[in-house]
Chains A and B, each alone.
Chain A
Amino acid sequence: MTTTATHPSPARPAALRPVTAVMRLMWLYLLSRRVPAAAGLLAGLGCLLWVALHEHWSIAGGAAARLVIPLIVESGAAAIVAVSSHGPFGEPERATGRWLPWLRLGAALTLAAVAFAVLSAGATGGYLPGGGPALLRNLGGMIGIGLLSATVLGGSFGWTGPMAYLLITEGALAGGWATPWIWPGRPPGDLGGALCACAVFAAGLATLTLLGARNPDRHTPG
């Protein structure tokens, strides 16, 4: 920087109103988490679900097996939500003020809502086992697992939790398990399964809000 600059000073930008500032902050936060790209991918999954239901993609093996393809799509959506929690800024962001937990919460809820909306749209006109209630329960629970994974392992690895849960569910469905912790295997109106899924969703949301996704590249100078 010099004091002999000959360029004229740029015009001072207009001050932001508080509400606008908050919305601007939220938008920038969503951009930093690649939420628009995530929303696009979720829309793609919605299309995939539509194709799967209308083309009757299904694993042979009875009612439980028919759940598997939609479950893959739902857990894939949960994985995208989880991976979006990864933040590129690291410590400088964590050293800021009070907004960060609210931003995390807002971003996670936004993406969860987008995921539910696009998958619901994808299920339109097709037979989705359990319908909307089952979709909400399954998706919410798996998003919770994904957010918990992101908190423990890092945002980049948030997909491993939903992937592991999907494999466990696939095996449990084949074995006819009835535990409410494998909520996709429960009837859509089942209270136990819904409670378990809600609890996991709430736990994932709470931990992500308070702790944020772990940064595995956290610099630890020796």
Chain B
Amino acid sequence: MTTATAPARPASARRGHLPRPPSFLRLVRIELRRSPMPLILPLIAALFWFDSYRPSTSQAPLYPLVTFWNMGQGHTIIDVGPFAAGMAAWIGARDGRRGTADLVTATPRPRWVAQLATWGATALWAVLAYLVFAGVMFAWYAHRGVQGEPPWWWVAVGATAVLAFTAAGFTAGVLFPNRFVAPLAAFGGFLLMMMSSQTGFRDRSGWALLLPTNSNGNFQVDSGILYPYLPDLPIARMMFLAGIAVAVLGLAGLPAAAGGRRVRMAAAAVIVVGLTATGTAVGLARTARLSSHGMVIPALHDAASGKLIAYTPVCAGSGFRVCLNPAYRRYLTDTVGALAPVAHEVAGLPGAPVRAVQAPAIYDDNDGQGGQPMTISGDPPVLSVPYGAFSFLPGPAGFSTAPVSRTVYDQNTRLLFAQAFVGAGDTLGTPAQQAVRAALLQAAGVPFAQQPGLVSGALQPSAPSPGPGRATGPVYAAAARFAALPPATRHAWLVTNLAALRAGQVTLDRLP
């Protein structure tokens, strides 16, 4: 030690009560440099790759599909959040572990404020890591040529969730500075996420929509492709999660050791603010309703966000032209081949479409499953194909875990086209409609024997399939007779009776 004279005493103390940003930021800077959070990041990165990225590689290269597991069902949050909570708890317990409580208490800056600096650095590392991992994943998706817009709103929700996890873990560590708080925070957070998933499967409305791993109403296949991701639900979720984060951080300021009376009152006010935000989000979620493009919360909704995304379609087909959104370009040739036989069969008939265009899929409670009908409308008639509602895109696709063969794709596509043509929509249709549809499909290359299973799977997913070789009964008998007619005869009958058939006024015995 030396006897050098001390520096000049600092200017007389200021009388403000709030932390001054420069000092506070410098505290955060020290904490950032020395935070142990980076030590856990390599492990989280590996798990992120395993659990969030790897399962997405089997999906069709459309952003809503590749990100449904990791963003839509919150697996990115599950991969990062519990670890962040555990580490934050360990960091929050630092003063208790290190015996520095007295040292920190004996300073004018309230202990709560010092803790907020520590938490801030912890949260910055955790959120930054999440954003980097998600960013790398999306960069790789872009490199792979995944089509559509990334679900950036859901990245923001994930970042807010990670923030909430660090806040909850940190506060737990502050309040219970013992060796068990870190694992309890981590596993407790994981359990909460799993319960959140379960609640999401069970409850499709109300406050349950705010749970971070609830996939209902997040986005469907056409989100970010034909229409934008609606920000209503993400905003409400961020409000909910941020409110939780703020409220639990306020909890850390309540103990007597956190500071004087004013500090504790400020902490109580912070808790109120946080709970207000959370409660507001719950109230907003209760007003949510499913619209054709996603979940709408009236108080947050901007009508402009529901407009269709303009695009220049890609088209193919010489006789019957098919036009799709460029994101679906890879399916264009297959779609032309699938639709052409039915188009050929109905060409020239009243209401026969002259071309096909892609239409936006409509949100439904079944997350797009169960099929949505193709429709024919306009003058000249155009076949509208809601591609996003199909779970049978060829190749690894949709919600199926196994690749879909070209045959399955062709058969399902032709079925839906025929359904639209006979006016049956997404119902089984009248017996006469069923018979005409069956005959059309037979002519288009879908044998009768395969039709019962196909119809059951597409239009009655919950009914047991009759299996192949059971194309019996009066409907198929009539269909066989109809299909056996010369094409000109069949054509003439349809010209005369198509309107009545579509209106459901034709009975089975009127079929030739």
Q: Chain A: residues with CB nearer than 8 A to chain B?
A: 34, 37-38, 41, 57-60, 68-69, 72-73, 75-76, 79-80, 82-84, 86, 155-160, 163-164, 166-168, 170-171, 174-175
Contacts and interface: CB of A to CB of B under 8 A. Distances in A.
Given A60-B202, A73-B191, A159-B187, 10 more contacts: A60-B198, A69-B191, A79-B186, A83-B180, A86-B179, A158-B183, A163-B183, A166-B190, A167-B51, A171-B55
Contacts of B201: 59-60
A167 B79 CA distance: 7
Determine the main DSSP class of B at the interface with A: helix
Interface in B49-99: 50-51, 54-55, 78-79, 82-83, 86, 90
Given A160-B86, A171-B51, A72 B194 contact: yes
Contact of A41 (B47, B184, B194): B184
A160 B43 contact: yes
A80 B180 contact: yes
B195 interface: yes
Interface in B20-49: 40, 43, 47
25 contacts: A34-B179, A37-B178, A57-B198, A60-B198, A68-B194, A76-B184, A76-B187, A79-B186, A79-B187, A82-B183, A155-B179, A156-B182, A159-B183, A160-B86, A163-B82, A163-B86, A163-B190, A164-B43, A167-B51, A168-B47, A168-B50, A170-B78, A171-B51, A171-B55, A174-B55
B197 interface: yes
Nearest to A153: B39
Contacts of A58: 198
B195 A57 contact: yes
Nearest to B185: A159
Contact of B179 (A68, A156, A174): A156
Contacts of B186: 79, 159, 163
Interface in B179-237: 179-180, 182-184, 186-187, 190-191, 194-195, 197-198, 201-202
B93 to A, nearest CB: 9
Contacts of A155: 179
Contacts of B178: 34, 37
Given A163-B83, A167-B78, A75 B187 contact: yes
A38 B180 CA distance: 8
A175 B55 contact: yes
Contacts of A72: 187, 190-191, 194
B126 to A, nearest CB: 15
Contacts of B183: 76, 79-80, 82-83, 158-159, 163
**Which 6 pairs between the two chains have the least Cβ-Cβ distance?**
A159-B183, A79-B183, A76-B187, A60-B201, A171-B51, A72-B191
Nearest to A85: B179
Contacts of B179: 34, 83-84, 86, 155-156
Contact of B198 (A59, A73, A75, A82): A59
A159 B55 contact: no
A41 B190 CA distance: 17
Contact of A156 (B40, B82, B90, B197): B90
Contacts of A68: 194
A158 B43 CA distance: 13
A38 B184 CA distance: 11
Given A37-B180, A167-B79, A159 B190 contact: no
Contacts of A82: 183
B40 A69 contact: no
A158 B86 CA distance: 11
A58 B202 CA distance: 11
A174 B195 CA distance: 16
A84 B180 CA distance: 8
Contacts of B191: 69, 72-73, 76
Contact of A163 (B54, B187, B198, B202): B187
A79 B86 CA distance: 11
Contacts of B190: 72, 163, 166-167
